[in-house]
Amino acid sequence: MKTNAGYLLGWLCLALCSACQKVCDPPEPQAADMISESTFTNPLIPRGADPWVTQKNGKYYFTYTQGSKLVLYETTALSELALAPQHDAWIPDPEGPYSKNIWAPELHEIDNKWYMYFAADNGSNANHRMYVVENSSPDPMKGEWVLKGKVSDPSDQWAIDGTVFRHQNQLYMLWSGGNAGAAPQHIYIAKMSNPWTIEGEKVAIASPLYPWEKNGGAINEGPQVLINPNGQLLVVYSASGFWVDTYCLGLLSLKVNGDPMNPGDWTKTPQPVFSMSAESGAYGPGHNGFFESPDGKEDWIIYHARSAPGGGSRNARIQRFTWNMDGTPNFGTPAKIGFPLEKPSGEPIRKIYRTEGWSIAGYSSEELVNDRLAIRLIDNNESTSWIARYSTSPTNYPDHFVTVDMGRVLPVNGLYFVQKSGDRKIKELELFVGDDNQTWESVGVVKLLDLSPNRQYYNLPATRQFRYFKLVPVSGHDTQSQPGLAEVGAFILP
């Protein structure tokens, strides 16, 4: 009997534990509780002339024309390029032939070393030439960049927009050149004996022929190599003056088994392959690069364009492209700015929790004057924000805080933040999580860019389950106190 009673008692304990577990474990979030964040919009960033992307080991390295230095950005998701911090790779001496007007940088890995090619001058455009720096570090974001020197053919004429590629075990350089920067500009090619030395004479493989190549100036520039699915060598280039709205992309095709150094083996497509679209807010689309989606299943183009006619700054954009039956790329029409596009295949698709049932569980202070209340953090309106500037006894660091109640314990992989417009933006904040709004655990300090209204994401070190999270500002992007935010939320990853 004692034995049977023991078994019965043990069974009852197990049953009670199981029931308790079912009651105590938080319920799994349902699809209705979340929004799938699977899209992005162009432009990626409000700048980005002459964009270039290199990818390796799941990372993308982005650079563009900044004029005075070489910069790099590293990201695992190009649709979130705006979140990548800037790294100054190389800054030239303030004087010298390559100290000014640094244009169209490109990052290439050749023979296990990194090289950045760029055009530069001494302040006079007529003196533009191509140069290259080298980095032996496996990581281009680290190590030292060393100037290898000027990259020039024997003529040593005006040259910009250099790019390199390997074809049948021979290294080549392509670039755009002309008469001291005056039109016409041609596309040249030459063999290279190493990544910093041109071997022999250059050959022109493209010159402006058609009216669409001569708007604002007879110009062929920005050559970029593209290999089609059949292994054929193609070159996409920019045509006309970059300052005109009708700046566009043209296409050169090397015939099968052709010689890249033989101009007769290249064919130019008589129409542009990518052109202005006023409806899309894409004026002067051009100077592009190419990359694959993270899973390698999709081909994408990165390019710059202006959002309004008649000039202005150029911004970087991306969109997927396909292939025509004849092996030529089908870039389609420039994607409309602000229109949701599916992210590149393989990028993280976050499940964003809906905040309708959330509440504010505490705050140090809030601004009543302009309705900048703590609840504005979770009202799904990026134009409203929480701040405490005009409140009674506004709190400063380190006593400034706000606490969010998600309504129940939820599994969380990370949080997102949206900066407010104007001043008083948070630069660093400490993030705490807890289950009872009393006992807290710090899960890290979040660094936020001065970037509005883009979402900025913070991945927790590991998946956590909690009900409350507290934001404690540590520093701001300016010297003013009481920094605030526009929106905050949480997400899980599939």
The number of residues in the chain equals 494
- Rounded CA-CA distance 64/73 in Å is 10
- Rounded CA-CA distance 316/304 in Å is 5
Q: Are 34 and 353 in contact (CB under 8 A)?
A: yes
Which residues, in sequence order, are CB contacts of 428 under 8 Å at separation 6+?
Answer: 445, 446, 447, 448, 473, 474, 475
Q: Which of 76, 77, 78 is nearest to 51 (CA)?
A: 78
- Burial of 474 (C-beta count, 10 Å sphere; 0-12/13-18/19+): middle
DSSP at 18 = H
Residue 81 phi, psi dihedral angles, 5° rounding: -55, -35
> What's the distance, CA 45 to chain centroid?
7
Distances (CA, A) of 486 to 226, 304, 386, 492: 42, 29, 6, 21
- Rounded CA-CA distance 310/300 in Å is 27
Strand residues in 195-334 grouped as ranges (E) = 197-206, 220-227, 233-239, 248-254, 266-268, 283-292, 299-306, 315-323, 329-330
Gyration radius (Cα) of the chain, Å: 28
Q: Are 297 and 346 in contact (CB under 8 A)?
A: yes
- Rounded CA-CA distance 185/175 in Å is 10
- Whether 50 is catalytic is yes
* Cα angle for residues 106, 231, 198 (degrees, 5° grid): 40
Neighbours of 466 (CB within 10 A): 21
Which residue do the tokens 């003056």 mark? 241
Say if residue 453 is preceded by a cis peptide, omega within 30 of 0.
Answer: yes
- Rounded CA-CA distance 189/261 in Å is 7
Of 221, 299, 347, 367, the active-site residue reads 221
Q: Which of 159, 109, 99 is nearest to 137 (CA)?
A: 109
Catalytic positions: 50, 221
